[in-house]
Structure 1
Amino acid sequence: MSYELQALGWAALIWVLHFLVSSMAASGQVGMGYLLGPRDEQKELTGAAARLKRAMANYNEGLLLFAVAVVLVVLGQASSELTQYCAGVFLAARLLYIPAYALGWSPWRTLIWFVGFAATLVMVLVALF
Structure 2
Amino acid sequence: MTVAFWCVLIALILPYGCAYIAKFTGGKFSLKQNHDPRTYLDALEGLPKRAHAAQLNSFEILPGFIAAVVISDIVGNAQQVTLDVLAVVFITSRLLYIICYLADWATLRSLVWFAGFAIIVSYFFVSM
Residue identity over aligned pairs, in percent, reads 25
Question: Normalising by the residue count of structure 2, what TM-score does the alignment of the two structures yield?
Answer: 0.83
Distance 1:77 1:37, change over 3 A: same
Distance in 2 (alpha carbons) for counterparts of 1:33 and 1:61: 26
Question: Normalising by the residue count of structure 1, what TM-score does the alignment of the two structures yield?
Answer: 0.82
1:123 — aligned with what? 123
CA apart distance, 1:9: 1.7
CA apart distance, 1:46: 0.7
Alpha-carbon deviations, 1:34-68, whole Å to 9, x = none? 42223596651111111111111111111111001
Distance in 2 (alpha carbons) for counterparts of 1:125 and 1:61: 22
Distance in 2 (alpha carbons) for counterparts of 1:47 and 1:40: 16
Distance 1:3 1:33, change over 3 A: closer
Supply the AA of the counterpart residue of 1:111.
L
* Runs of 5+ consecutive residues of structure 1 not aligned to the other structure: none
Please, what is the CA RMSD of the aligned residues?
Answer: 2.2
* Runs of 5+ consecutive residues of structure 2 not aligned to the other structure: none
1:37 — aligned with what? 35
Distance in 1 (alpha carbons) for counterparts of 2:19 and 2:105: 20
How many residues align? The count is: 126
